[in-house]
Amino acid sequence: MATGAAESIPTKEPKAASVAAPAQPFTNPYIGILGVFLGAAAASMNSRLISIGLPDLRGAKGFGFDEASWIPAALDMALMFSGVFCVFLNGRLGPRRILLPCAAVFTATSFLIPFSPNLWVMLFLQVLAGLSSGTFYSLTLTFALVALPKRLVIWGIAAYAGDIVFSTNISEALQAWYVEHLSWHWIFWNATVLTPLMFICVYFGIPKHSLPPGPAPSWRGWTYFSFGLALIVGAFDQGERLDWLNSGVIVAMLTAGIFLVIAAFIRRKRQPNPITDLAFLKTRNAIILGISITVFRFLLLVAYILIPAYLANIKDYRPLQIGQTLAWVAVPVLALVWVVPLIIIGTGSRLIMAVGFTSIAVTSLIFSRVDSSWAGTSFQRVELFLAAGLACSYVGMVGSIVLEALEAGALKSAKNVCSFSGLMHLNRIFGGSAGVAVLTHFLSVREKFHSNMLGLHVQAGNWLTTERLRMFTGGLFPESTGLDQAQARGMVLLGKQVRAQAYTMAIGDGFVLIAWVVIGFFVAMLLLKPGKISYKDLRNMK
């Protein structure tokens, strides 16, 4: 009897294990990770395609410049609203309950947007698309970190970096190819190809979860906060066009946005949220590493704004030509992100992040020598250095943030995960919009400055000015009706040259600003406390 009893114990343990098996968090995490990566790529490409393809969209739909500018603004505002809100919603519902319906909504709205009968319908659909796709990017890394074994986390970060950087850099060439060979509709329909694949992967890769026990959180404070940030992002987006505080629209959006953010913090004090712990974020390392995301988003503007703006405005490059210049960076980045983790394991993520930022700063200083003789090939000569900087900085930055999260115990509770992830995504979305607004305004101010300075030396009666006008008049005289018209056309041409030179000098100043931002962040990095764990330590963890 005793022997029989002893032998019966092992037979019960497998049954208990089989009963507990459904409680495991993931049935096939790798399929789920592929799904969230596809979603992040779809959301990133959608935002870039709409921004780049706005002129083609205006021409096809007959929208004016001012009214069409609200199309990407509506998308950015919706992305801001859902990007942080869904992080906390995920702590309550889980990724499956969020991603599946959002993928379906995003697919449907992306298909319907080109058929919008007027601007208001398009803006409404854009808001729906932004609210749904904003969840993709925000839940990607959070899900991957929980799903992957600790020893594979750095490789998941590498895949994440390659996914985002490659999809974003290839968007310019892809949009031009769509317009040249298919139609402008594919600016939106691109998402209808990727998102259904994401839906399938999420469906089979992320299992259902029961709702966590405990009191239901209050969503009112986070609604105030997210809506307030969305209004501020909209003000940033439209500020330069509407002349900032001289516009009643901008003042109203900023005032309402700030009011709602303050109301959210008051609400948070009066009724603490069970899935939020702001005190957990009051650490020096978390704040500095959060700032690193904003800095990186600003550095990306080298490839997103400065180079395209120069090629389009000074060299009259078509979108396809600009895309070919920039898409070249995406290929080496996709390869380099798999080499960087090996270096990080042997050295450290913060060191590699600093090396990457330095590479981008040095590249920017080289680009700051730009003049009107530069072409697309002039940038391509050093773009490999830029690609190495992007790969090192992205993987090193995200790797440093993940180590800080592990060291601080961010993954030990849903409240800590939501708070830490929410801070990082706030810096990603809000910092990116603020960076675009700052750089756009900076370029405008510097162009006016250089135009005024050049104008002081281009005056009537100056012998250099007279000689240049005489040369233009002589060249234009055969195609003019007389001397007066040739002189008038020569003055117009001289004015265009002055403006082009002023804009080129402003672009050069923009590259210098990028370098100074890196130097400023390096000062902040000196305040980081040494980390206690490294990716070498994680190699033996499950």
- Within a domain: residue 231? yes
31 and 56 co-located in one domain: yes
Q: How many CB atoms lie within 10 A of CB 532?
A: 9
Give the pLDDT of residue 23. Answer: 43
- Within a domain: residue 180? yes
Give the pLDDT of residue 58. Answer: 87
Please report, for residues 99, 133, 198, 378, 417, the alpha-carbon distance to residue 40 in angstroms, rounded to integers and kept in the order given.
11, 8, 9, 32, 19
Q: What are phi and psi of 463, to 5 degrees?
A: -65, -30
- Within a domain: residue 419? no
Rounded CA separation 408/283 (Å): 9
51 and 197 co-located in one domain: yes
57 and 182 co-located in one domain: yes
Task: Transcribe 357-419 into DSSP letters.
Answer: HHHHHHHHHHHTT--TT--HHHHHTTHHHHHHHHHHHHHHHHHHHHHHHHHHTGGGSHHHHHH
176 and 88 co-located in one domain: yes
172 and 94 co-located in one domain: yes
**Domain final residue, candidates 208, 237, 258:** 208
- Within a domain: residue 315? no
Rounded CA separation 264/60 (Å): 41
- Within a domain: residue 481? yes
**Domain final residue, candidates 230, 256, 273:** 273
The domain tally of the chain equals: 3
pLDDT tens readout for residues 82-99: 888 888 788 778 888 999
**Rounded mean pLDDT, 276-294:** 83
Q: How many CB atoms lie within 10 A of CB 69?
A: 17
Contact 219, 100 (CB under 8 A): no
Contact 254, 236 (CB under 8 A): no
52 and 198 co-located in one domain: yes
Give the pLDDT of residue 25. Answer: 45
Round the average pLDDT of the chain to a whole number and report it.
82
178 and 42 co-located in one domain: yes
Give the pLDDT of residue 488. Answer: 65
203 and 235 co-located in one domain: no
CA triple 134-136-141, angle to 5 deg: 120
223 and 118 co-located in one domain: no
Range of the domain at 228: 219-273
3-state secondary structure of 205: helix
Rounded CA separation 367/307 (Å): 9
Name which of 341, 446, 470, 317 is nearest 403 in CA terms: 341
135, two tokens: 């969840």
**Rounded mean pLDDT, 293-321:** 87
Please report, for residues 27, 78, 204, 207, the alpha-carbon distance to residue 23 in angstroms, rounded to integers and kept in the order given.
10, 34, 16, 10
- Spell out the alpha helix ranges (H) of 148-185: 153-181
CA atoms within 13 A on the CB side of 294: 18
56 and 89 co-located in one domain: yes
- Within a domain: residue 362? no
Q: Among 45-49, 206-210, 514-518, which stretch is predicted with the lowest mean pLDDT? A: 206-210
- Spell out the alpha helix ranges (H) of 53-181: 54-61, 65-68, 70-93, 95-112, 119-147, 153-181
Q: Among 10-24, 44-58, 181-195, 276-290, which stretch is predicted with the lowest mean pLDDT? A: 10-24
**Domain final residue, candidates 247, 273, 299:** 273
Per the rule left: phi > 0, alpha: psi between -120 and 50, beta: everything else, 82 is alpha
Give the pLDDT of residue 459. Answer: 61
122 and 146 co-located in one domain: yes
**Rounded mean pLDDT, 479-497:** 65
- Within a domain: residue 387? no
Give the pLDDT of residue 489. Answer: 63
Residue 13 pLDDT greater than 50, yes or no: no
Give the pLDDT of residue 83. Answer: 83
Task: Provide the percentage of residues in the chain whose pLDDT is more than 70.
Answer: 84
47 and 138 co-located in one domain: yes
CATH of the domain at 43: 1.20.1250.20
Residue 539 DSSP one-character state: T
Give, rounded to a whole angstrom, the gap between the first and last alpha carbons of the chain. Answer: 40
**Rounded mean pLDDT, 362-366:** 94
Give the pLDDT of residue 125. Answer: 95
Give the pLDDT of residue 257. Answer: 94
Q: How many CB atoms lie within 10 A of CB 170?
A: 21
Contact 426, 84 (CB under 8 A): yes
- Within a domain: residue 139? yes
